[in-house]
Chains A and B, each alone.
Chain A
Amino acid sequence: MTAISVKGLTKSYGDLVAVKDATFDVPLGTICGFVGPNGSGKTTTIRMLLSLINPTSGSGEILDHPISHPERYLSRVGAMIEGPAFYPALTGAENLRVIATLGGFPLERIPELLETVGLSGRGDDKYKTYSLGMKQRLGIAAALLPNPKLLILDEPTNGLDPAGIQEIRDLLSKLAKEGVTVFVSSHLLSEIEMISEYLVMLRKGEVIFFGKTEELLHRSRPTIVVKATRASDLKRLKKLVDEIGHPALLEGDELRIDADEKWGAELNELAFDDDIVLRQITPVRPTLEETFFTMTEEER
């Protein structure tokens, strides 16, 4: 069973295609990162999943119910889309009561949820007095009100300080362990890499990858970074490894060689045979951010 299953989902505005033929699955009980550059169609896709906008074509299922019948699944879905949105003149707690009343969720959970997101002391303050980070926390509390089976969060760590980001990361991991599926979009790719087991990557409205995060990272070519006791030897080493078929790039006092870490021993031997003494051999696996930029052809 999948939490989200989307097939050929397309949304067009006249000639502009915001999301094109999106197809992906998100397994139950996992944290799935949803990444892509600004304007790649992440929020449009999320809006279609939540039935806020109608797809031009394609289909989708959430918790085994078609997205054309949102009333069948939204009671088990928590969501925060395009940042938190509440009534400024009401207190944080009263805002949650409005949503809980509307959704038919127990009001008794509100103090517990405020505590979970670190707002227990500020629940009775008006929303308009909240900082961006506090608003974000209240948005997450509202998303948790239905005790969801699926949590859809759009940039949940926006405006949070590093400690707040870590708290949210821990909270999402805890929820996933309890069986909640978390579908989270974020521009903080290091965060996504740390918590996401699965990944959906968009570029210009098209899904360019969906699957396990590890699988994506293994697709990228690893690098070995070496330093020699005499920096001048690196030019010779570059020529040697280039001839063997491992393209290398000389950057200052280090040489970056396109090769798997398993080739490190062979490299060391090769250098030794040519009287080059290496003082450092470091295998480097590309981060999600590097992979993302390579795949989305964005410049850092």
Chain B
Amino acid sequence: MRIFLAEWRKLRRPTLFFGSMGVVVAVTALIVSLLFLLIDSEMGNADRGVRITREVLALPSGISLAFSNSSGLLGLVALCVFAAQTAQEYTYGTLRSLLVREPRRIRLLLGKYMAMGLFAFISVVISAITSVALAFALSGTAKVTTDAWTTDAAWTNLFETFVNVLISTFGYGTIGMILGLVLRSPISSISIGVGWLLVVESILSIAWSPSGNWMPGILLSVVASGGSPTGVTDIPSYSDALLRVSSMITAGALLTGFLFKRRDVAS
């Protein structure tokens, strides 16, 4: 608890907290707006030129669509925050002060992870609220009927989407933390993480589509969208994606935790 509270003191500072939450609101608002305002565009209104019609949006799952579409960018925000908060302990030299106060290294990591997890949880809640509120607000302009959005099925779907987006965001965040611990530099860990997830995975999955079955970013987007991501073909099922990506991330986290526990902390 002490470690969690100490880490939270750093995360709650206004520039970081409100800045990150502002990015979350802006990104969510952009994706919801594009989904509703470009509904008649031939270029599409979702990922990779995919078109989501009024009929699809009018379904009970329609209320969650924009929210699940935001998951990739929410994940990137989490990756950046987890990576920066972890790697900066090396660049500022503060890791040695932390370890003098809490020499049980794995406990220190878990406390930090929990605090950053709360940060990620709040960002997902804010994104969900923003997307639902904006979906209702823009439904009139886009001429989408919202009768099905207030049914029990819609709320159940929204809850399931929330859980899936949360799992995906934690996955991205964990990848960020692993990169931060391995690379020990915020700039390197963020640029390599974002570059891999946004650029390398896309190129590899286009060049050889089966590779998408083993790419953490693609697997996390499958999880976030509940198994039916838009615009990606040859995808694994939800349960396969969840099993594969959680195994990969757990293995990475265990290996990194082992290295962190054993590694000397020099300047």
Contact = CB atoms under 8 A, between A and B. Distances in A.
A82 B6 contact: no
Contacts of A142: 97
Contacts of B97: 85-86, 99, 142
B9 A52 contact: no
Interface string A82-120: 110111111000100111011110000000000000000
A71 B92 contact: no
A87 B265 contact: no
A147 interface: no
A47 B13 contact: no
Contacts of A86: 92, 94, 97
Interface string A73-86: 01001010111011
Contacts of B54: none
B141 interface: no
B2 A87 contact: no
Interface string B70-102: 000000000000000000100011101111111
Contacts of B207: none
A54 interface: yes
Contacts of B93: 82-83, 85
A98 B6 contact: yes
B109 to A, nearest CB: 13
Given A81-B96, A88-B92, A99-B101, A94 B264 contact: no
A50 interface: yes
A52 B6 contact: no
Interface in B1-59: 2-3, 5-6, 9-10, 13, 15-16
A153 B124 CA distance: 44
Nearest to A44: B266
Contact of A74 (B3, B15, B101): B101
Contact of A94 (B9, B16, B102, B266): B9
Main secondary structure of the interface of B (DSSP, over half): helix
Interface string B90-127: 00111011111111100000000000000000000000
A222 interface: no
B267 A82 contact: yes
Contacts, number: 78
Contacts of A87: 10, 88, 92, 94
A268 interface: no
Contacts of A101: 2, 5-6, 9
A7 B266 CA distance: 22
Contacts of B100: 50, 52, 74, 77, 79, 81
Contacts of B262: 54
Interface residues of A, number: 30
A103 B9 contact: no
B265 A102 contact: no
A164 interface: no
A81 B97 CA distance: 8
Nearest to A54: B264
Contact of A52 (B10, B13, B92, B99): B99
A70 interface: yes
B103 A98 contact: no
Contact of B94 (A43, A52, A85): A85
A85 B98 CA distance: 10
A51 B99 CA distance: 8
Contact of A97 (B9, B101, B102): B9
A140 to B, nearest CB: 13
B10 A71 contact: no
A102 B100 CA distance: 10
A157 to B, nearest CB: 19
Contact of A71 (B3, B9, B13, B103): B103
A260 to B, nearest CB: 45
Contacts of A70: 103
Given A82-B93, A101-B2, 5 more contacts: A81-B100, A82-B96, A101-B6, A102-B102, A142-B97
Interface of B: 2-3, 5-6, 9-10, 13, 15-16, 88, 92-94, 96-104, 262, 264-267
9 contacts: A43-B267, A52-B100, A54-B262, A74-B100, A77-B100, A89-B15, A101-B5, A101-B6, A103-B102
